Amino acid sequence: MNKELDTEVGHCGSDEEERKSHHSDKLKADLTKRLNRIEGQVRGVKGLIEKDTYCDDVLHQIAAIQSALNGVGKLLLAGHLKSCVVERIQEGDMDVVDELLKTMNTLMK
**pLDDT tens digits, one per residue of 23-44:** 788 988 999 999 999 999 999 9
One DSSP character per residue, 11-32 reads ----SGGG------HHHHHHHH
Query: Does the global pTM surpass 0.85?
Result: no
Domain boundaries, the chain: 25-108
d(CA 93, CA 48) in angstroms, rounded, equals: 48
Which pLDDT belongs to residue 37?
Answer: 98
Q: Give CA angle at 32 (83, 108), nearest 5°.
A: 60
User: Tens digit of pLDDT for each residue in 49-84?
Assistant: 999 999 999 999 999 999 999 999 999 999 889 888
Fold topology of 25-108: Methane Monooxygenase Hydroxylase; Chain G, domain 1 (1.20.58)
Q: What is the mean pLDDT of the chain?
A: 87
Which pLDDT belongs to residue 23?
Answer: 77
pLDDT band, residue 22 (cuts 50/70/90)? confident
